[in-house]
């Protein structure tokens, strides 16, 4: 979520409890685990806190790659070089935030 007084149409306010829990995530994750396991632990914990699906994606050789996701549903469509992806817009905006995405009945 982009910090502001009014949440946008695709954002929601995090509770004080959620914000504190997110600040504590780094103390609950074992940073010595292999990268994929570390990322999986991270998105699983964040997903529980946010009560929404969480994922880590990055660009590799010009394509988006899904490194870890907290669950299978809703599916995250990764298109290979077939045009702009929603991740392009999200990745081009500087700053830290949580953004709410909707896919059918899922946030």
Is 9 a domain residue?
Answer: no
pLDDT score recorded for residue 2: 39
Is 10 a domain residue?
Answer: no
Asked if the model's pLDDT at residue 17 lies above 60, the reply is yes
Distance CA 10, CA 98 (A): 10
Is 8 a domain residue?
Answer: no
CB-side exposure of 67: number of CA atoms within 13 Å?
Answer: 15
- If one counts the domains in the chain, the total is 1
Is 82 a domain residue?
Answer: yes
Give this prediction's pTM: 0.70
What is the rounded average pLDDT of the residues 78-99?
Answer: 65
For residue 86, give the nearest of 74, 46, 26 by alpha carbon. 74
Asked if the model's pLDDT at residue 88 lies above 90, the reply is no
Which range marks the domain in which residue 25 is found? 16-92
Is 60 a domain residue?
Answer: yes
Is 106 a domain residue?
Answer: no
Is 4 a domain residue?
Answer: no
Is 86 a domain residue?
Answer: yes
């Amino acid at each position: 979520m982009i910090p502001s007084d009014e949440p946008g149409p695709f954002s929601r306010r995090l509770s004080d409890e959620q914000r504190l829990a997110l600040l504590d995530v780094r103390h609950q994750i074992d940073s010595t685990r292999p990268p994929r396991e570390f990322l999986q632990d991270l998105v699983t914990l964040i997903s529980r806190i946010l009560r929404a699906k969480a994922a880590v994606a990055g660009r590799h050789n010009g394509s988006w790659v899904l490194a870890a996701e907290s669950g299978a549903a809703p599916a995250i469509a990764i298109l290979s070089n077939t045009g702009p992806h929603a991740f392009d817009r999200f990745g081009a905006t500087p700053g830290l935030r949580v953004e709410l995405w909707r896919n059918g009945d899922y946030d």
